[in-house]
Homo-oligomer: A and B are copies of this chain.
Amino acid sequence: MLFERVTVIGIGLIGGSFALAGREAGVLGEVVGVARSERTLLEAVHVGAANRTTPDALEAVRDADLVYIATPVAKIAETLDRIAPALKPGCVVTDAGSTKRAIMAAAQCLPPSVSFVGGHPMAGSERGGVCEARSHLFHGRTYLLMSATHVHDALARLWEVVVAIGARPVLVEADTHDRLVARTSHLPHLVASALAASLGETCVQRDFIGDGLRDTTRIAEGPVSVWREILMENADEVLVALDEFLGEADRWREALAARDEETVVDLLTRGRDCRQRMGEQ
């Protein structure tokens, strides 16, 4: 057992799966689930993600050895601020937010007796909610961790939990994290969304729609509220990535307008090579 008492704030797909996986692996003890909706509170107990639930985060964290914050990303900083006075000394706090710089900065408000380790599990599903929680959600997935200073012991214990739930922990700096996910996650979402929207009324021409378009735009179906927060939080890095993409699209535009076959071949080749270097999951 690595953490006897665990509180999951925002117990949904990610927080619920973390609790299920950690308990199944025997590394987490009693789990208290926190959510705003009455229905989620009932469901979290029903699916076995939490031993008990409460809408009161302050009461829930008071005895916690580990606090796992899996609320929408824009609420994490605010949650840290709110729970800070109630945390007991030695408590480890982590989160599952998709952007990291603002959260790592907000974690500075925590008392020095408490350790914060930022987290970003590279797992998820188009469908959210605690009823979708699965103990194998993190199996084989990368689990990014960001440590502040003086959290050596906390990081080591959380690292062990991540390994125990079948994920692969990778340590990264918050700046690097936000720069890279802007390119590998946020820009693709923006591009998929813009591509789908640019089709306009053509999107109902199902006779002409094949797997290629469906794959390319699949993630555009993701929840608007989640992606609004992510893209706003990481807007500066997403803009840099978007400009690089638009530079590439402009080269395409020029090459097609000039019917420049050599450049078209060059562009296709670079795109294919980059895609191949990504590999499959």
Using a CB–CB distance below 8 Å, which chain A residues touch chain B?
A: 122-124, 142, 144, 168, 170, 172, 180-181, 183-185, 187-200, 202-222, 224, 227-228, 231-232, 235, 238-239, 241-249, 252-253, 256-257, 259, 261, 264-265, 267-272, 274-281
The answer on a CB contact under 8 Å between B275 and A170 is no
Contact of A202 among B183, B200, B259 (CB under 8 A): B183
* Interchain CA distance A183-B208 in the complex, whole Å: 9
Residues from chain B with a CB closer than 8 A to the CB of A243 are 253
Contact of A219 among B209, B215, B241 (CB under 8 A): B215
* Interchain CA distance A207-B181 in the complex, whole Å: 10
Contact of A210 among B122, B210, B244, B261 (CB under 8 A): B122
* Interchain CA distance A224-B267 in the complex, whole Å: 9
Besides A206-B279, A220-B271, 11 new A-B residue pairs in contact (Cβ under 8 A), listed by A number: A180-B202, A184-B208, A184-B213, A188-B195, A206-B278, A212-B219, A217-B271, A218-B275, A220-B275, A228-B265, A239-B257
* Interchain CA distance A267-B170 in the complex, whole Å: 33
Residues from chain B with a CB closer than 8 A to the CB of A142 are 206-208
Residues from chain B with a CB closer than 8 A to the CB of A216 are 188, 191-192, 215-219
Q: Report copies per complex.
A: 2
Contact of A221 among B124, B187, B231, B272 (CB under 8 A): B272
Contact of A271 among B168, B197, B261, B280 (CB under 8 A): B197
Contact of A203 among B191, B192, B249, B278 (CB under 8 A): B278
Residues from chain B with a CB closer than 8 A to the CB of A190 are 249, 252
Given A188-B212, A207-B170, A244-B198, CB of A193 within 8 Å of CB of B268: yes
Contact of A274 among B203, B227, B242, B276 (CB under 8 A): B203
* Interchain CA distance A267-B200 in the complex, whole Å: 12
* Interchain CA distance A168-B219 in the complex, whole Å: 28
The answer on a CB contact under 8 Å between A214 and B268 is no
The answer on a CB contact under 8 Å between B239 and A193 is no
Given A207-B170, A239-B256, CB of A261 within 8 Å of CB of B274: no
Given A195-B187, A202-B184, A208-B185, CB of A280 within 8 Å of CB of B214: yes
* Interchain CA distance A244-B142 in the complex, whole Å: 36
Q: Which 8 A-B pairs have the closest CB atoms?
A: A193-B271, A198-B245, A196-B274, A220-B275, A194-B248, A196-B275, A197-B270, A220-B271
* Interchain CA distance A249-B205 in the complex, whole Å: 22
Residues from chain B with a CB closer than 8 A to the CB of A264 are 228, 231-232
